[in-house]
């Protein structure tokens, strides 16, 4: 992993050094971990304090293995907060990575309604590089009080050498027209959840009325790529906020692709999920045909992986299907929710989606059979049960390794 040289960056692009981070689900867990490894200070809240303890344990292992991304990275930069409002009161900006629009809505309304909500001194607005003022946080449950607050860093966390290139490689040449948000809002909310585009637009407008600017940064590529820091970030909102926080985004992921508006980033994320789900259904049908033809499934997998018929989903989820674990860290409830966003989007634009509609019905059936907590890859299990044969081959992992 690259170490950072913050002198590579112009100071006007330096991000805030601290974030409130809400949501330690499968993706949020790894995004938060990467931020701490990148030298950022996090004030974390989740409904499960056990997930916070698990994050601490994971980071201890990462630091012990020498996997810090920045010389300023330390475990003491990770703090537990009793609620979202407390986390926001101690930090420079807010990141949410939550399972539903309702959860994001609840967090934003809690923060706005809190008596402690304020603009932290030093919070970044457009073009500012000032670090947030030192504020004493509450101690985390698994850390001694003396370790809860490190010395305030003198500069922004260092940037991996490739971060600037990765972000700029996807940057279109034309500039997005600025709006009044860059000068009028007091605080930035970075929404990394997969959210309903219309609901997100409405919530970001509500937040703006209360002094909170918004940036939509949904991610795509799977949990295993989030663990490796290679997940793709889709950016929607004002460019000035993206640029001001791109060091943090570089710590969390790989490619940063500017999409356009907040709503457009959410729409594109839904589109990528639609394609992934269609590919998942097609993966099951391909394996069924190969098996029925008497072809060894390990050989079939290798051949398809190197063919024009390959897809990201086939070569990733196909492995855990062939193993029989189906474990992909993405539930049927989440798949159903995301397909709902896709179908609603298609309805708004009056676009008929024949394949997406069929796959959405398959997910409904899988959810009713295996439960909402079942793995989304179990969509293929429906076909296995229907034909009375399992699609298995030796040598495939139960869990995808971080790539």
pLDDT of 9 strictly over 80: no
The DSSP output letter for 158 is P
Domain ranges of the chain: 6-260, 272-387
CATH architecture entry for 272-387: Orthogonal Bundle (1.10)
Whether the Cβ atoms of residue 182 and residue 240 lie closer than 8 Å to each other? yes
pLDDT of 159 strictly over 80: no
Asked if 6-260 and 272-387 have one fold, the answer is no
Token duo for residue 8: 């590579």
For the segment 208-222, what is each residue's pLDDT rounded down to a tens digit? 999 999 999 999 999
The alpha-carbon radius of gyration of the chain (Å, integer) is 22
180 or 120, greater pLDDT: 120
Q: Residue 335 — very low, low, confident or very high, per pLDDT cuts 50/70/90?
A: very high
CA distance 115 to 134: 20
pLDDT of 255 strictly over 60: yes
91: region left, alpha or beta (phi > 0 left; psi from -120 to 50 alpha): beta
Q: For residue 116, what pLDDT is reported?
A: 73
For the segment 342-351, what is each residue's pLDDT rounded down to a tens digit? 999 999 999 9
The CATH class that applies to domain 6-260 reads alpha beta
CA distance 294 to 2: 47
- For helices 297-305 and 312-323, the axis angle rounded to 10 degrees is 170
pLDDT of 71 strictly over 60: yes
Residue whose C-alpha is closest to residue 40's, from 70, 60, 67, 13: 70
pLDDT of 334 strictly over 80: yes
Average pLDDT over all residues of the chain: 84
The DSSP output letter for 296 is -
Burial 367-376 (b: 16+ CB within 10 A, else e): beebeeebbb
Q: For residue 402, what pLDDT is reported?
A: 86
């Amino acid at each position: 992993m690259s170490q950072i040289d913050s002198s590579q960056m112009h100071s006007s692009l330096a991000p805030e050094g601290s974030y409130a981070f809400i949501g330690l689900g499968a993706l949020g867990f790894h995004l938060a971990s990467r931020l701490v490894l990148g030298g950022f200070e996090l004030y974390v809240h989740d409904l499960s304090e056990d997930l916070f303890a698990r994050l601490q344990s994971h980071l201890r292992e990462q630091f012990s293995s020498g996997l810090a991304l920045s010389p300023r990275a330390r475990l003491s930069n990770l703090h537990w907060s009793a609620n979202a409002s407390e986390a926001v009161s101690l930090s420079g900006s807010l990141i949410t990575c939550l399972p539903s629009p309702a959860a994001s809505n609840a967090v934003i309304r809690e923060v706005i309604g809190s008596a402690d909500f304020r603009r932290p001194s030093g919070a970044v607005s457009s073009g500012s590089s000032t670090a947030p003022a030192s504020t004493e946080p509450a101690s985390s449950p698994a850390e001694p009080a003396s370790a809860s607050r490190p010395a305030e860093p003198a500069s922004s966390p260092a940037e991996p050498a490739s971060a600037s290139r990765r972000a700029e490689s996807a940057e279109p040449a034309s500039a997005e027209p600025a709006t009044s948000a860059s000068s009028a809002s007091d605080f930035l909310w970075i929404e990394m959840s997969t959210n309903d585009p219309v609901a997100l637009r409405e919530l970001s407008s509500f937040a703006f009325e209360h002094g909170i600017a918004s940036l939509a940064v949904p991610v795509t590529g799977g949990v295993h790529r989030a663990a490796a820091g290679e997940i793709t970030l889709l950016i929607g909102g004002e460019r000035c906020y993206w640029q001001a926080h791109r060091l943090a985004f570089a710590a969390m992921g790989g490619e940063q692709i500017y999409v356009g508006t907040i709503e457009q980033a959410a729409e594109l994320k839904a589109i990528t999920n639609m394609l992934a789900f269609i590919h998942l259904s097609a993966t099951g049908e391909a394996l069924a045909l190969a098996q029925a033809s008497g072809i060894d499934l390990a050989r079939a997998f290798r051949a398809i992986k190197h063919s024009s018929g390959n897809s990201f989903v086939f070569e990733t989820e196909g492995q855990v299907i062939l193993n029989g674990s189906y474990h992909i860290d993405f539930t049927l409830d989440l798949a159903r929710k995301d397909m709902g966003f896709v179908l609603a989007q298609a309805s708004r634009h009056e676009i008929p989606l024949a394949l997406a509609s069929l796959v959405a019905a398959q997910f409904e059936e899988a959810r009713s059979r295996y439960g909402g907590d079942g793995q989304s890859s179990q969509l293929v299990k429906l076909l296995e049960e229907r034909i009375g044969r399992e699609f298995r081959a030796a040598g495939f992992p139960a869990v995808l390794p971080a790539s």
